[in-house]
Structure 1
Amino acid sequence: MLTYVFPGQGSQEIGMGSTLFDEFVELTMEADKILGYSIKELCLQDPYSQLGQTQYTQPALYVVNALSYLKTIKDTGRKPDYVAGHSLGEYNALFAAGVYDFATGLELVKERGRLMSQAQGGKMAAIIGLSEQEIINELKNNGLESINIANYNTPTQIVISGPEEEIDLAQPIFEKVPKLRLYAPLKVSGAFHSQYMSKAKEQFERHLNSVKLNPIKIPVISNVKARPYKQDEIKVTLASQIDSPVKWTESIRYLMGCGEMDFKEIGPGKVLQNMIRRIQREAEPLIIEEDLVTPYSLGSKEFKDNYSLKYAYIAGGMYRGIASKELVVKMGKAGMMGFLGTGGMKHNKIKQDITYIKRELSNGQAYGMNIVHNFNNAEQEERLIDLFLENDIKVIEAAAFLNVTPSLIRYKAKGIRKDNQGKLITNNKIIAKISRPEVAEGFMSPASDFIISKLLKEDKITLKEAEYLKNVPVADDICVESDSGGHTDGGNPCALIPAMIKLRDDMMKKYSYDNKIHVGAAGGIGTSEASAAAFMLGADFIVTGSINQCSVEADISDSAKDLLQQANVQDTAYVPAGDMFEIGAKVQVLRKGLFFPARANKLYSIYQQYNSIEEIDEKLKKQIQEKYFRMSFADVFKEVKNYYPPKEIKKAEENKKHKMALIFKWYFGHSTQMALKGCEDCKVDYQINCGPALGAFNQWIKGTEIENWRNRHVDEIGEKIMKETADYFNKRISKISSN
């Protein structure tokens, strides 16, 4: 077998490319146009001494490597079995594999070189003669742990990277080591392939979002993983390459383990050929069993493509902005999706948060808005949909809906169009969180004729939109909500998910929709095992909630998070839902250390037993006012009047049982507000929505650096769950295969 390898920065030399520019005139002209200067002049003459500068070096090497590859193919007529590149050279390997054309690759390299050239205050040095472990020991023993290993070039030729003063300080230390053959500082502008390049990585990742990639035609060995690229991980891996070490030794060992292998260096110099010969002398072939599952391969690829996601992972919208704008942005930047928890938030605050999110996630990253069914105020629900439409919100998470409402259909209608092939495209997507099959059936059906007629009569949709609505489901995708925090029926995922998938399949067959309805899973997901179970049951994606509430980004008080951090799986309870108090809907809340669950259930029991406040015996009334509310019923009702519409207050004045309901419901809102603010005097009355998933998560990460919630970040939580879910699958597969 044959592997072509492409050199990176450090192999440049004046005169490189020689006759290639005249042989490939059109590509040379295309390069000049992209770069804004003569690539031939730079490589052959370097009149302004720019060839050694990163922003010029990288494009120059990419062009020469690419033309050298085309020349080799032209002359030999043989394509390699594998390709690999050292750092910058990896972009040529991807070009050779057909992942992008010459121009696209050059645009990427131009941006990469520009970003990397901006790095200041960093330095690199080559260490020859010492092993990786010997270098690590010297750094650790001398307090130089801010230095990273950047390049594993051969088993005994390793490059370190870090702050300039640290690299300079390390030189005399290493020169005292008897085995050292050479400590050579490199002429570079920054600490490449280290943690100090994280800003450049983040900026480059945003640039990558707009790039279209083609299928891999030749296996490409990644610097980051020393394994072949996976199609759905190309952008993630390319971005990570900037701040990750180049695992060149392991890459060559991997190729050696693939069978009898010849290596040919394509481009200027023989740096890589020399490294490869040394690796072949000093190291054994690497024989490994490939992982069958990766964090990026979990879930539905189609679902991820629809929402521009790297991971099939969503953070659900938590009430009153606990799922904050910062949470949404963190998730979006990590290739996941978060929903802003708009329920109970003021209209202006939602508007401000949308502006912030759109500004921070302006490069195609995913985000969405949660909408909780407003059982008593359809007008407020309509206003929220107006806000979403005005701000071009493309994804909403519909939660706690017992049936499809006109506001949801209007949102859906305003985003439907037909593409050039006549296929219906829904630009305004709805992901419905559902725990009951009869509700799911309504959301997986087209909008009802009744609602369509109502919207037409009110002039809220057009005739064309009405016609389109008859051929698409209300919800683009469904999230099956099992035993979760917040509104819940306490369902069992092992029963619910298969039933919902079967219902989905039946509805797809019944209506012959153009696009598949994907089924996700929520509730009880707080560990890799729970996540794996959801995917094994057939979930296309997973949604987490409770575990994100106990994180830095969650907008709830520190004292509430301290309580959440102590929770175990048994420390939750079911209570009446404050927004659906009268009908007895349930939410799940934290119980440990709190009186709220017992008091909330007591209030509902009293509401069922009596028809008015006046009927309650005096002792019980005194207990409620003094212990629960710390206010009189009259004062509570005064506050109630401030945030309920006049018609609701009028109804309460006329109906004593309804008045009792509004007064009791005040306690639920008040308890939530106290938890959000962190009122220490009212801590026992905190209402903190939470499911057992958080208890499982707390046990799972006990003893790790994220045991303390102050070290928990929603994006890192998501990545940890997805990574360890993939690891769990691979271990199980390996165990089964070995039996």
Structure 2
Amino acid sequence: MVALVFPGQGSQRGGMGAGLFARFPDLTRQADEVLGYSVEELCRSSGDGRLDRTEYAQPALFVVSALTYLARDPVPEPGLLAGHSLGEYGALFAAGCFDFATGVRLVRERGALMGQARGGGMLAVLGVDNADVPELLAGTGARQVDVANYNTAMQTVLSGPLDELRMVSSALAAHPGVRCVPVRVSAAFHSRHMRPAAQEFARFLTGFTFADPHRTVVSSVTARPYAPGQVADLLSRQIESPVRWTQTMAYLREHGTREVEEVGPGQVLTGLWKRALSPSAKPGVTAAPVAVEVGPATAPRPFAAAPARAPRALVTAGAPATAAAPVATVPLTTPRARAAAPATAAPPARSAPPATIAPSSPATARPGADGAPPAPRAEELGSDEFRREYGIRYAYLAGAMFRGIASADLVIRMGRAGLMGFFGAGGLTLDKVESALVRIKDALGPHGRYGVNLLHSIDDPAYEHAVVDLCLRHGVHDVEAAGFTQLTPAVVQFRFSGAHRDAAGRPVAVRRVLAKVSRPEVATAFMGPAPEAILRQLTAAGRLTRQEAEIAAELPVGQDICVEADSGGHTDGGAALTLLPAMLRHRDAAMARHGYERKIRVGAAGGIGAPEAVAAAFVLGADFVLTGSVNQCSPEAGTSDAVKDILAGLDVQDTAYAPAGDMFEIGARVQVVRKGTLFAARGNKLYQLYRSHDSWEAIDRATRRSVEETYFKRPFAEVWEETRAYHLGRGRDAEIEKAERLPKHRMALVFRWYFARSVRWALEGDPAQKVNYQIQCGPAIGAFNHAVRGTGLEDWRHRHVDRIAEHLMTGAAAVLARR
């Protein structure tokens, strides 16, 4: 009897799946739509190293394995099916538990959750019966190390904290014939340390209904067949449970399997099967490849010194090989690893190269020449605390763009990629904001990574409070506070709603405010505790409890401050090279003045359009970066294709400044697209007319006719009636009374109608109004267009927001590596 076995992560390789994608174009298209990128291109080119990263490798492997299964000759019919961890998804697909697109969604989420896990490592133990490993492990004194993989009778993989793995390696190496080889991974996979990821994945699985297998599938968690109703439970447990492959193979043999057919790239599992059956296999002489789930590639980490004459063994991430690599001490390659290493560790043997652990990626840290620090990886740029607290892979955020340009689709896409974006709630009606929140929460789950924009409403504080109420009602934990000139009760309420003291009496705020600022006085306000007057107002209104108000007097309103330089939309046109260092000093002064225990983090926004700009921000000391304009030219952005076509053709000089419609009278400015539209010139003309005239009637007849015919495309009186009805319909009677008393104010309201309409015309892509499009955008888009020219991202239809993030962050790491 033949059993079908599906390989796990580590078996991926460039070029896999060749011929399959053309044979199954509809399924390939389905995969591309779910993933947001071309899986065929990823497999063919290795995606500039992305294929070695968990969040990309897992979906790619599932797609190739599933298509391989569909393409196989149905004869002979398999008796049993099994998969090595990730490979189990291919087996369940073949057994009819879910359809192809659902399988892609499942492994995309699984890969994203496992890809963002950090800390700990894995250690392969060779030359000892795996049944004896738990007992030997108990004798080492390690308390946080688990068995992660039972690959063969004489090959076991352990997972746990690096310091305990070093201790285990040193202890086990004292046993004759036992060898320990570190496995290059970024986290302690298949152990108790993956429980948070397993729990989050379990919540994700509640949104699916699975059929029971119509063929026998042996679980790598239990080494027993799936029972009815077990699919969701076992898939969630799989992330933190050991892979019992030795026991799985034993079950296959005991139930009549005489041959396995490997469905997917490589022959790793076939090799393990043959070795297990071979009567001549001698323990500890040569080791079969170790197949483990591999996270983003990291530099090899030593656990203990190995003698120079150590016997040879091969440990790989699952790729088949016949040559053995010598076991040797792997040199320390990161400052953190060097700091954690025992002071008495023996130096590496110069004659023996380090063991081959896993395929490297372009972002892999490598030691520099002459003892120089290792080149950075994209995952290491910025603040580690920031990445950990936000639960994201990179110190990178996609900022909000108003009127839903930073759409629900954009936020969902970022969240599913292990990243985070803010929904552009500014300027939207409350029902549209709530509808988007419901959709985002349904897609990402109650603990998903996303935030919401809270735009300062100078003339409508009730709207601010209404947005905050929606966020609190729907469990939003993060807001991006933008456009604020001073602190308001709404932003303070959001930050400290639910604040409490922990068991030690320390103040804890459960919600975060990321404040976008470009002026020192505004930054200083967000870096300080909430003003007493605002707290009295909020407690009197019942919006904060007394305890919440007490805590608000001890913590900063903004735990994260984003320094906004020359950005699209509202801007003071500042330069990051001067703003960021000044804001960092303001931060240090605030920390000293208020005596905070936790550091206020400072990030950079505005002009972030090329890898070099991202690298420069981190060199200047930014804890994170936040992008805006570049994301507006993506398939997920909530604006028209006509706007995206314009944006994709811009250079760095193709923007200009125009009056801000929401703050028209005080002369606030926004940065907008100049090329292909006359809005900037026309907006500035209207502001000049407002400044120099006290009423519409005071403007000369020829100018009035020109404005009506080319700007408004209707008479002034008609626009005024529409504007009047709009304000009355929203209860703003005072605005209308003021306009009827003051002709200059009436003129301002009508001019503001043009600014609002110019945004709508652009969002809708109205071809008749193209010259009037208001497209708020900074020069970063021109820099990005240069950076991606001649690449797969040149066409904006391929510029998915997570791919933009990947390009900028991995590119920044490469820039720093070159320098």
| TM-score w.r.t. length of structure 1 | 0.68
Where does 1:34-73 land on structure 2 (aligned, <5 Å)?
67-71=131-135
1:92 alignment partner, one of 132, 157, 163: 157
Counterpart in the other structure of 1:187: 261
Percent of pairs identical after alignment?
A: 40
Where does 1:226-625 land on structure 2 (aligned, <5 Å)?
227-228=299-300, 246=319, 252=325, 260=349, 291-362=374-445, 364-625=447-708
How far apart, in 1, do the equivalents of 2:139 and 2:511 lie? 52
1:487–1:577: 8 Å Cα contact kept in structure 2?
A: yes
2:744 corresponds to 1:657: yes
2:768 alignment partner, one of 654, 657, 681: 681
The number of residue pairs the alignment matches comes to: 563
How far apart, in 2, do the equivalents of 1:510 and 1:608 lie? 43
SS at 2:591 equivalent: helix
SS at 1:296 equivalent: helix
Counterpart in the other structure of 1:172: none
2:757 corresponds to 1:670: yes
Q: 1:400 to 1:51 in 2, by over 3 A?
A: closer
Q: 1:374 to 1:186 in 2, by over 3 A?
A: same
Instruction: Give 1:72 deviation, angstroms.
Output: 5.2
| TM-score w.r.t. length of structure 2 | 0.62
SS at 1:337 equivalent: coil
1:373–1:401: 8 Å Cα contact kept in structure 2?
A: yes
1:526–1:693: 8 Å Cα contact kept in structure 2?
A: yes
Counterpart in the other structure of 2:242: none
How far apart, in 1, do the equivalents of 2:450 and 2:658 lie? 31
1:338–1:367: 8 Å Cα contact kept in structure 2?
A: yes
How far apart, in 2, do the equivalents of 1:413 and 1:223 lie? 36
How far apart, in 1, do the equivalents of 2:779 and 2:193 lie? 48
2:518–2:572: 8 Å Cα contact kept in structure 1?
A: yes
AA aligned opposite 1:679: D
1:532–1:729: 8 Å Cα contact kept in structure 2?
A: yes
1:84–1:222: 8 Å Cα contact kept in structure 2?
A: no
1:567–1:698: 8 Å Cα contact kept in structure 2?
A: yes
How far apart, in 1, do the equivalents of 2:155 and 2:717 lie? 73
1:339-377 Cα offsets, whole Å, 9 max, x none, are 000111121111111011111112744210001111211
Root mean square deviation, CA, Å: 4.3
2:793 corresponds to 1:728: no
How far apart, in 1, do the equivalents of 2:439 and 2:407 lie? 11
Instruction: Indicate the larger mover: 480-489 or 65-74.
Output: 65-74
AA aligned opposite 1:369: V
Where does 1:125-164 land on structure 2 (aligned, <5 Å)?
none
Instruction: Give 1:463 deviation, angstroms.
Output: 1.9
1:226–1:254: 8 Å Cα contact kept in structure 2?
A: no
Q: 1:223 to 1:696 in 2, by over 3 A?
A: closer
Q: 1:623 to 1:465 in 2, by over 3 A?
A: same
2:302–2:329: 8 Å Cα contact kept in structure 1?
A: no
Instruction: Indicate the larger mover: 330-339 or 286-295.
Output: 286-295
2:555–2:596: 8 Å Cα contact kept in structure 1?
A: yes
AA aligned opposite 1:324: S
1:308–1:364: 8 Å Cα contact kept in structure 2?
A: no
Q: 1:499 to 1:561 in 2, by over 3 A?
A: same
SS at 1:383 equivalent: helix
1:222–1:229: 8 Å Cα contact kept in structure 2?
A: no
Counterpart in the other structure of 1:176: none
AA aligned opposite 1:456: T
How far apart, in 2, do the equivalents of 1:381 and 1:361 lie? 25
Instruction: Give 1:53 deviation, angstroms.
Output: 6.2
Instruction: Give 1:306 deviation, angstroms.
Output: 1.8
How far apart, in 2, do the equivalents of 1:541 and 1:515 lie? 16
SS at 2:658 equivalent: strand
1:527-546 Cα offsets, whole Å, 9 max, x none, are 11000111111100000000
AA aligned opposite 2:452: M
Q: 1:96 to 1:681 in 2, by over 3 A?
A: closer
Instruction: Give 1:385 deviation, angstroms.
Output: 1.0
More helix by share: 1
2:587–2:600: 8 Å Cα contact kept in structure 1?
A: yes
1:281-333 Cα offsets, whole Å, 9 max, x none, are xxxxx998784311111111111122112110011100100000010011112
1:485–1:523: 8 Å Cα contact kept in structure 2?
A: yes
AA aligned opposite 2:300: P
1:115-166 Cα offsets, whole Å, 9 max, x none, are 9x99999xxxxxxxxxxxxxxxxxxxxxxxxxxxxxxxxxxxxxxxxxxxxx
2:396–2:626: 8 Å Cα contact kept in structure 1?
A: yes
AA aligned opposite 2:534: I
1:412–1:428: 8 Å Cα contact kept in structure 2?
A: yes
Counterpart in the other structure of 2:713: 630
Name stretches of at least 5 consecutive residues in structure 2 with no aligned partner.
1-6, 10-78, 90-123, 166-186, 216-258, 269-291, 304-316, 332-347, 360-365
Q: 1:85 to 1:225 in 2, by over 3 A?
A: farther
Q: 1:508 to 1:261 in 2, by over 3 A?
A: same
Instruction: Indicate the larger mover: 339-348 or 302-311.
Output: 302-311
How far apart, in 2, do the equivalents of 1:486 and 1:250 lie? 59
Name stretches of at least 5 consecutive residues in structure 1 with no aligned partner.
1-7, 11-48, 122-184, 195-219, 232-243, 264-271, 280-285, 733-739
Q: 1:380 to 1:229 in 2, by over 3 A?
A: farther
Instruction: Give 1:646 deviation, angstroms.
Output: 2.3
Instruction: Give 1:583 deviation, angstroms.
Output: 0.8
SS at 2:397 equivalent: strand
How far apart, in 2, do the equivalents of 1:327 and 1:56 lie? 27
AA aligned opposite 1:104: R
1:520–1:542: 8 Å Cα contact kept in structure 2?
A: yes
2:610–2:787: 8 Å Cα contact kept in structure 1?
A: yes
1:238-297 Cα offsets, whole Å, 9 max, x none, are xxxxxx97487899489698655999xxxxxxxx9xx99xx9xxxxxx998784311111
SS at 1:730 equivalent: helix
How far apart, in 2, do the equivalents of 1:501 and 1:292 lie? 25
Q: 1:106 to 1:316 in 2, by over 3 A?
A: closer
1:503-540 Cα offsets, whole Å, 9 max, x none, are 01100111112322110000001111000111111100
How far apart, in 2, do the equivalents of 1:252 and 1:56 lie? 26
How far apart, in 1, do the equivalents of 2:752 and 2:804 lie? 34
How far apart, in 2, do the equivalents of 1:639 and 1:253 lie? 80
Instruction: Give 1:656 deviation, angstroms.
Output: 1.3
1:65–1:92: 8 Å Cα contact kept in structure 2?
A: no
How far apart, in 2, do the equivalents of 1:524 and 1:687 lie? 19
